């Protein structure tokens, strides 16, 4: 029986290339509920931006997904709206409120957030938390935290 992507990520996966990370992210993107927030936890180079680039493929978003560090967030439009936010320079939930990102959201959307701990209080309760880590030169681990309260 094919394991679904949520079970697979809950168990934790090891990817050996950026292309594999793209494929995993794409599979998750295709399985996400209509309006979803993803918190991507992990150190520098753990593959957060690479993951978002894979997500974009799920919704036929063309063009490269690059790090939004200098403009805080980037909005991509495809079959679903993808908002890629880098919270690295944000310090509090109030910083996030000032951005008024909700104003731009049009269902169905996905918000993918790098450095989510900086805006922890702002995150919607149904946020999916993923932990990414460097496991080797071109290997990375990706794991989905169990949903809240489980
Ligand atoms: N298995 C893999 N999965 C993802 N990226 C990989 C993998 N193997 C090698 N890489 C490389 O690791 C780098 C990951 O960079 P990326 O920008 O995605 O990380 P990041 O977590 O967003 O870092 P930052 O915190 O600086 O934004 C890329 O250069 C990518 O090509
Ligand atoms: Mg990044």
pLDDT tens column, 109-137: 999 999 999 999 999 999 999 999 999 99
**CA nearest ligand 1 atom 13, residue:** 45
Cα Rg of the chain, angstroms? 14
Q: What is the pTM of this model?
A: 0.95
pLDDT single digits (tens) 31-67: 999 999 999 999 999 999 999 999 999 999 987 888 8
User: Hey, is 37 helix, strand or coil?
Assistant: strand
CB distance 68 to ligand 1 below 6 Å: no
Distance 1 CA to ligand 2 centre (A): 34
User: Residue 70's pLDDT band (boundaries 50, 70, 90)?
Assistant: confident
| Calpha distance 64→80 (Å, rounded) | 16
Residue 1: pLDDT over 80: no
- Give the ligand whose atoms come closest to the C-alpha of residue 42: 1
| Calpha distance 3→136 (Å, rounded) | 26
Angle value at C-alpha 114, between 68 and 47, nearest 5 degrees = 90
CB distance 84 to ligand 1 below 6 Å: no
**CA nearest ligand 1 atom 8, residue:** 138
């Amino acid at each position: 029986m094919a394991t679904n992507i949520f079970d697979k990520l809950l168990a934790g996966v090891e990817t050996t290339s950026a292309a594999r990370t793209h494929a995993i992210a794409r599979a998750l993107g295709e399985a996400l509920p209509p309006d979803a927030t993803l918190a991507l936890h992990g150190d520098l180079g753990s593959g957060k931006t690479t993951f978002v680039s894979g997500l974009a493929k799920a919704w036929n978003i063309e063009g490269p997904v690059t790090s939004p560090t200098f403009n805080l967030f980037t909005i991509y439009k495809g079959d679903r709206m993808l908002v890629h936010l880098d919270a690295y320079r944000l310090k509090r939930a109030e910083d996030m409120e000032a951005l008024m990102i909700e104003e731009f959201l049009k269902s169905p959307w996905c918000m993918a957030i790098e450095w989510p701990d900086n805006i922890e209080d702002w995150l919607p309760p149904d946020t999916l938390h993923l932990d990414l880590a460097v496991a080797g030169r071109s290997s990375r681990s990706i794991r989905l935290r169990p949903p809240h309260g489980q």
